[in-house]
Structure 1
Amino acid sequence: MIASSNDCDSPLRGITYSSEQRFLPVESGHHEFIGKPLEIRAVCWRPTQPRASILLVQGRAGFLEKYLPVVARLLRRNLEVVSFDWRGQGGSSRLIDNSQAGYVPGFDDYLDDLQAVISADLFSTPARFILAHSMGGHLVLRWLAERHPDGETFRQVWLTATLADLVTDPYPRWFARAVSYLACRCGFAKRYVFGGGRYDPEAFRDASLSELTSDVEEVERQRHCLQQHPELQLGSPSFAWLQAAFRSIVVLNRSDGIARIRVPVTQFVAGADQVVDNRAIYALDARLTNGTVVSIPGALHELLLESDVINQPLWSLLWEQLEQELSKGASEPH
């Protein structure tokens, strides 16, 4: 179940809910995983009388326990929350012997993870929404563009700091792409990217506070949780992950399906983001027929886990849009 400790599950204390955990089998067409069962850890948190269901989709290096403050916010609004760990991270199956390296052969595998969770019948209400962060937002857009432009049963999508393209400073983007390609061709696909390595608690704290969130208490909660549950730790991405990301970015930004997405998509941009390229998010939004971009000034990349002072405008608009949709009738699919 969700890791229980003073730090991991503290955001949920005092909230009445039930929870269900499943390990969902997923397929992989890659020869190195043939005969090796892969499972995705998925959890549903359910208040006594849920008004609607939220699919919460994490980013790279995420884990379910990391997003418990977000789960708590949603539960307090009587919203059911379904979430999961991508393959290769959190409590889902790790793919290579070095379980600390962020590795995936291609982002299409992640799309299969997303589909497996959506198809698992974990939702108990007809009013369904998606809230996705970074790589999760990237994959939700690809899932919509390539598989379900009508949103399937989802009425509204909220994306935070969408991975529309990567910031590669101090190197030019073409150089980072070339290096990842050459490293994979030369047999280093499973190696950490240059300068990367295993999870380190001090480096995690420093990087989190400089690039991800200004909320010191939240960073300490995550750090202590990872100390107590090392099986959830993940280090830097591998060259394979980086190459897969660059390839998927090209697919997303060239997809004709983006213009066919009919479900409303609101993208929140972190004003001080150093991880994803905000210009690419605006360019992506320009191709959506029912899209909106909202900038959150001063916010770092982890918008959902930023301090309350910074991300209050995000939650205010999200609650407003949610209530507008629910007022149309919870029994009517989008």
Structure 2
Amino acid sequence: MHESRRYFLPKGAQNGDFQGADGVRLRMRAWPAPTQGHKARGTLFLVPGRTEYMERYAEVIADFLEKGFAVAILDMRNHGLSGRPLANRQAHFVADFAPMADDVARFVAQGAALDLPRPFTLLGHSMGGHVALRAVHDHPQLARSVDKLVLCAPMLRIRFSPLPLWLVRGLVALAGALGFWERYALGQGDWAGGKARAR
């Protein structure tokens, strides 16, 4: 029988919260490698995907700790308990992924400041894969600091078919100019105890 376990973050995490370049508070936790007489195997830096938060990775964190790795994880801006630009914490808004890439560079630097063991592996899932790849591309110091980059189902492209990309870009620009960027998409809304309320 499969054991149901690890629904909560492991104990013993260091609070590594820090601020993004624009002052937004970013939630970070780091667990030292449980060495028990063995040398640590390095540090895994986890960058979750869209709508994900660190508690969702509790079992993954526990598994890597058991394998002798230190683990650090970040709630991306607009996710989990990190800062958000909108007053409505349920609404998700990303105007540009560049600040998130900056956050990932700061995240790894914060891990280095906490004396987490090398080598450093940066693992990004889905949107986190896109952000991790962009961060390594845009920040040469991060590229030099990270020993391995692992992308799990990275969001490299968004499919818009049947609409051509030029039309989608025009529609998004028009929606932004009309003040719709920070509103829910048609038919979407706040979560209301089992279903989304349309706004």
TM-score, normalised to structure 1, is 0.51
Encode CA deviations 1:288-330: one digit per residue, 9 max, x unaligned. xxxxxxxxxxxxxxxxxxxxxxxxxxxxxxxxxxxxxxxxxxx
Q: 2:46 aligns with which of 40, 48, 56?
A: 56
Secondary structure class of the residue paired with 2:143:
coil
State the 1:142 CA deviation.
1.4
Segment of structure 1 superposing worse, 145-154 or 110-119: 145-154
CA contact (8 A) 2:105 2:139 kept: no
Match of 1:25 in 2: 19
Secondary structure class of the residue paired with 2:91:
coil
CA contact (8 A) 2:41 2:118 kept: no
Unaligned runs of 5+ in 2: none
CA contact (8 A) 1:54 1:81 kept: yes
Secondary structure class of the residue paired with 1:18:
coil
The answer to whether the aligner puts 1:172 opposite 2:158 as a matched pair is no
Question: 2: distance between equivalents of 1:63 and 1:93?
Answer: 12
Identity of aligned residues (%): 25
Encode CA deviations 1:221-273: one digit per residue, 9 max, x unaligned. xxxxxxxxxxxxxx9xxxxxxxxxxxxxxxxxxxxxxxxxxxxxxxxxxxxxx
State the 1:203 CA deviation.
5.2
CA contact (8 A) 1:18 1:47 kept: no
Q: Residues 11 and 187 of structure 1: is their aligned pair in 2 closer, same or farther, counting only changes over 3 Å?
A: closer
Match of 2:128 in 1: 136
The structure with the greater share of residues assigned to helix is 1
Secondary structure class of the residue paired with 1:42:
strand
State the 1:147 CA deviation.
1.8
Question: 2: distance between equivalents of 1:40 and 1:68?
Answer: 18
Q: Residues 104 and 150 of structure 1: is their aligned pair in 2 closer, same or farther, counting only changes over 3 Å?
A: closer
Match of 1:157 in 2: 149
State the 1:173 CA deviation.
5.0
Q: 2:184 aligns with which of 187, 192, 205?
A: 192
The answer to whether the aligner puts 1:70 opposite 2:60 as a matched pair is yes
Match of 2:74 in 1: 84
Question: 2: distance between equivalents of 1:25 and 1:88?
Answer: 13
CA contact (8 A) 1:167 1:173 kept: no
Question: 1: distance between equivalents of 2:170 and 2:5?
Answer: 39
Q: Residues 163 and 43 of structure 1: is their aligned pair in 2 closer, same or farther, counting only changes over 3 Å?
A: same
Question: 1: distance between equivalents of 2:29 and 2:189?
Answer: 29
Q: 1:46 aligns with which of 28, 32, 43?
A: 32
Secondary structure class of the residue paired with 2:135:
helix
- Residues matched between the structures, number: 188
Secondary structure class of the residue paired with 1:81:
strand
Secondary structure class of the residue paired with 1:47:
coil
Q: 1:117 aligns with which of 107, 131, 149?
A: 107
Question: 2: distance between equivalents of 1:106 and 1:137?
Answer: 15
How well do the aligned residues superpose, as a CA RMSD in angstroms?
A: 2.8
State the 1:140 CA deviation.
1.5
CA contact (8 A) 2:108 2:142 kept: no
TM-score, normalised to structure 2, is 0.82
- The within-5 A match list for 1:255-274 is none
Q: Residues 101 and 81 of structure 1: is their aligned pair in 2 closer, same or farther, counting only changes over 3 Å?
A: same
Match of 1:265 in 2: none
Q: 2:95 aligns with which of 99, 102, 105?
A: 105
Question: 1: distance between equivalents of 2:71 and 2:149?
Answer: 14
